[in-house]
A and B are shown apart, each in its own frame.
Chain A
Amino acid sequence: DAKTTQPPSMDCAEGRAANLPCNHSTISGNEYVYWYRQIHSQGPQYIIHGLKNNETNEMASLIITEDRKSSTLILPHATLRDTAVYYCIVSPFMFTGGGNKLTFGTGTQLKVEL
């Protein structure tokens, strides 16, 4: 799997947008960008994923650069409950068989403060 680089930590004021960057300069054409977060002592929570187009759902927006070498996860109005470790992962998908396995890096610890 291609490797990703994320800042180890970020702070954000509650109510403001949290923009979490991720570099994946060696991403392959068939690899998706996945974002998960892990709140302390819980399993990772799926946030969003995309291939090349920007994506938005009820949790966040994912902006992928045109060359696909980096992406940004945007939490539009961060709350204290968004404090977590955010993981950016790139992985290919397969229709059948072993499927895409997700290899976690060290992620970004986002701290949302009042």
Chain B
Amino acid sequence: GAVVSQHPSRVICKSGTSVKIECRSLDFQATTMFWYRQFPKQSLMLMATSNEGSKATYEQGVEKDKFLINHASLTLSTLTVTSAHPEDSSFYICSARDLQWSPGSGNTIYFGEGSWLTVV
């Protein structure tokens, strides 16, 4: 099946530094990728939608200057958490919408394994 890979799976960074998380669709092309954040025992919260070759669309309340998203190709999107603070510690998950569409089933969205960010 379709695979979405995230890297790194776990990262620890110091307060004030920036950290980049990559999201790759390994065996399909994705014009659209999504970034989520999940705190312990809570559901996934959509942060932003990223479209290849254009600016990302952020959900209300998400700071676009803090969470920089780049979608440079049909298989890669990156999330950079800038000036990280301990409250940014969370599980970050990306998903990718398969470009291939079929009648009756539309496009399927696949998720990565997630990346644990700990800011100390």
Spell out A's residues near B (CB within 8 Å). Answer: 32, 34, 36, 38, 41-46, 49, 51, 53, 87, 93, 95-107
Contacts and interface: CB of A to CB of B under 8 A. Distances in A.
Interface in B12-45: 31-32, 34, 36, 43-45
Interface string B38-62: 0000011110010100000100000
Given A49-B105, A99-B97, A100-B97, A43 B43 contact: no
A43 B104 contact: no
B110 A46 contact: yes
A104 to B, nearest CB: 4
Contact of B114 (A42, A51, A103, A104): A42
B113 to A, nearest CB: 5
Contacts of A49: 105-106, 108
Interface of B: 1, 4, 6, 31-32, 34, 36, 43-46, 49, 51, 57, 91, 93, 95, 97, 101, 104-114, 116
A107 B45 CA distance: 13
6 contacts: A34-B109, A41-B114, A44-B95, A45-B111, A51-B106, A93-B106
A64 to B, nearest CB: 13
A98 B112 contact: no
A43 B113 contact: yes
B93 A43 contact: yes
A92 to B, nearest CB: 9
Given A98-B57, A101-B34, A102-B95, A46 B109 contact: yes
A46 B34 CA distance: 15
Nearest to A52: B104
Contacts of B95: 43-44, 102
A43 B114 contact: yes
A87 B44 CA distance: 10
